[in-house]
Structure 1
Amino acid sequence: MNIDPRTIKELLQLQMLNKMDAIMGGSLAGSEANKSDFSELFNNILGQATGGKSTLDGSLQQSAGKTSLKPLSMNAAFGFSSPNRVDSLSINSMKASSELDPLIQDASRRNGVQPSLVKAVINAESSFNSRAVSKAGAKGLMQLMDETGQGLGVTNPFDPTQNVHGGTKYLSNLLRKYNGNEGVALAAYNAGSGRMARLGITNDIELKEKLHLLPKETQNYVSKVMKLQREYEA
């Protein structure tokens, strides 16, 4: 029985497509269709060898239309499991937050600020380190400048109770100033209300439009605090 080598090559290619479809997760219906195409092609080859009329070209065209190779996702291709949500909250920060929770709840209730927002600010400002001091001289959990702290009645910025109550009151004042627009309040907490006034930023829509005009530190700060707040609320 003489069979054209090119026909053998096409037969082997179609068989390989069937195997690849099975390996790569093709549907059952797709696999059965490919098996049917393979049988049809094989019968055509036998018919060709025995003098029968060949429909090889038509069979291959149908096969190309029916073969379904489903691309694998990156996770499936490399055997990775679906990733879980990775929070920015470390074990240490969660422990510190839990220890300070009664104080934060009290300060939040007194000043009408969401506890999750206060926690997020403390995390971003000092990572819950009550002895933290910035290069600019801001101190304590909520990183109060001496002048700001004194205006809020804080005599010892390293005292957690004084610092959290003072910082939460300051945050509350900013939220009232900007009519509850948290983004602007946070930007002002980091960069100062004066800068917001100079840029004409009074609400979150204006903040979004002019965010690029603020220091990169402030842009990152606002984003970080809002992300942390969502995680504390989860």
Structure 2
Amino acid sequence: MSATTQTGTTDAFSGLLEQVGQLDTDDAATRENSSDVTRDENGLLWLQLGPSKGAASPFAVYPAPSSTASDGPTKPTAYDDLINEASQKYGVPVALIKAVIDTESSFNPSVTSSAGAKGLMQLMDATAQGLGVSDPYDPAQNIDAGVRYLSYQIKRFNGQENMALAAYNAGPGRVQRLGVSTDEQLMAMLDKLPLETQKYITKIQNAREKYTI
């Protein structure tokens, strides 16, 4: 990516952060009145990019050098080259990326949710634009942007993957209000999250096992 392109993408993403910074609070308050998280609400979570106090930059890499991104061999998919590249670039384990894609879209690059989330990692239009995606149905663009966003959520919750996944599904504000700081604490209070979120974490765990050799 050229310096000019990178700067333009960063500016666009910064603008998106300013526009949706209040959604963590506002949308979480709306969800408090719901006993479940619908697919539409899950789609809205892609807009919840406003960083919490002390959070790292959305472009920060989790967890560290690319050599730490692998959690062992994984079963092959049609998008391994793109997934491996994004894993190395953003430091997210390959098996986790595959698990998220499997759960979100069943590896269908053309799928659109009822909320308008698109492609393999189910990007909303505003988020896709903010991340520099011109075609959310393009696997290369979708995977790169989706993994970058996932990396940000994991970084936001200090490497606690289940907390990041819960935030991805139910909203960061809802997870933060639990007052937990580790995955173990989260799992002990999982019944306080929407049923859909409880199922989502389990689905990701099962899918991850499926792709880990």
TM superposition score normalised by structure 1: 0.56
> Once superposed, what is the RMSD of the aligned Cα atoms?
1.6
- Please list the CA deviations of residues 37-88 of structure 1 after superposition, one character each: whole Å capped at 9, or x if unmatched: xxxxxxxxxxxxxxxxxxxxxxxxxxxxxxxxxxxxxxxxxxxxxxxxxxxx
Instruction: Give the corresponding residue for 2:101.
Output: 122
- Please list the CA deviations of residues 75-132 of structure 1 after superposition, one character each: whole Å capped at 9, or x if unmatched: xxxxxxxxxxxxxxxxxxx7xx521001100011100011111001000000001111
Instruction: Give the corresponding residue for 1:206.
Output: 185
Q: Are the counterparts in 2 of residues 196 and 202 from structure 1 also a CA contact under 8 Å?
A: no
CA separation of 1:200 and 1:137: change in aligned 2, threshold 3 A: farther
Give distance in 2, aligned partners of 1:123 and 1:157.
Answer: 17
Amino acid at match of 1:186: L
* Superposed displacement of residue 151, structure 1: 2.6
Instruction: Give the corresponding residue for 1:42.
Output: none
Amino acid at match of 1:127: S
Structure 2 stretches lacking a partner, 5+ long: 1-74
Q: Are the counterparts in 2 of residues 140 and 160 from structure 1 also a CA contact under 8 Å?
A: yes
- Between 1:122-131 and 1:193-202, the stretch displaced more is 193-202
Instruction: Give the corresponding residue for 2:175.
Output: 196
Instruction: Give the corresponding residue for 1:146.
Output: 125
- Please list the CA deviations of residues 107-160 of structure 1 after superposition, one character each: whole Å capped at 9, or x if unmatched: 111000111110010000000011111122211100122232223222221111
Structure whose residues are more often helix by fraction:
1
Give distance in 1, aligned partners of 2:129 and 2:178.
Answer: 27
SS of the residue corresponding to residue 145 of structure 2 reads helix
Instruction: Give the corresponding residue for 1:155.
Output: 134
Q: Which residue among 76, 88, 94 is the counterpart of 1:109?
A: 88
Amino acid at match of 1:196: V
Give distance in 2, aligned partners of 1:197 and 1:149.
Answer: 25
Give distance in 1, aligned partners of 2:135 and 2:172.
Answer: 24
Alignment map for 1:166-205 (pairs within 5 Å)? 166-205=145-184
**2:198 paired with 1:219:** yes
Amino acid at match of 1:166: A
SS of the residue corresponding to residue 134 of structure 1 reads coil
Q: Which residue among 196, 207, 210 is the counterpart of 1:228?
A: 207
Give distance in 2, aligned partners of 1:191 and 1:169.
Answer: 19
Q: Are the counterparts in 2 of residues 149 and 157 from structure 1 also a CA contact under 8 Å?
A: yes
Q: Are the counterparts in 2 of residues 181 and 203 from structure 1 also a CA contact under 8 Å?
A: yes
Instruction: Give the corresponding residue for 2:79.
Output: 100
CA separation of 1:136 and 1:226: change in aligned 2, threshold 3 A: same
Give distance in 2, aligned partners of 1:207 and 1:135.
Answer: 29
Percent identity between matched residues is 51
SS of the residue corresponding to residue 99 of structure 1 reads coil
Give distance in 2, aligned partners of 1:109 and 1:125.
Answer: 21
SS of the residue corresponding to residue 119 of structure 1 reads helix
* Superposed displacement of residue 201, structure 1: 3.8
Q: Which has the higher contact order (CA 8 A, sep 6+)?
A: 2
TM superposition score normalised by structure 2: 0.61
Query: Which of 1 and 2 has greater Rg?
Result: 1
- Between 1:175-184 and 1:185-194, the stretch displaced more is 185-194
